[in-house]
Amino acid sequence: THSVQLPGAHGKSSGGQAEFVGPLARAAVAVGVSAVFIETHEEPVRAPSDGPNMVPLDEMGGLLRTLIEIDRLVKQ
């Protein structure tokens, strides 16, 4: 999620483009990356920090399942 961070975009705090977390994570796993760092929160807008970079918790399960599927295909 730090790859989508926009330092200083919100004045004193960082902004981010969370919509790109999934595509970047899928691309990383597709080229053989073994681990990803993804921040999540039940309500990213209420997170104490890095909210604009977070995947909502209710979306994490689907994203992780997709990443596991891609990983299995790549390693065949």
Q: What is the pLDDT of residues 1-55, one digit of tens each?
A: 578 987 766 666 678 889 999 999 999 999 999 999 999 999 999 998 888 899 9
Residue 13: what pLDDT?
67
Provide Rg for the chain, Cα atoms: 13
Could you tell me if residue 13 is left (phi over 0), alpha (psi between -120 and 50 degrees) or otherwise beta? Answer: beta
Q: Is the pLDDT of residue 69 over 90?
A: yes
Q: Which amino acid is at 45?
A: V
Token output for 14: 């960082």
pTM for the complete prediction?
0.86
Confidence (pLDDT) at 1: 59
Averaged pLDDT for residues 62-72? 98
Above 80 in pLDDT, residue 68? yes
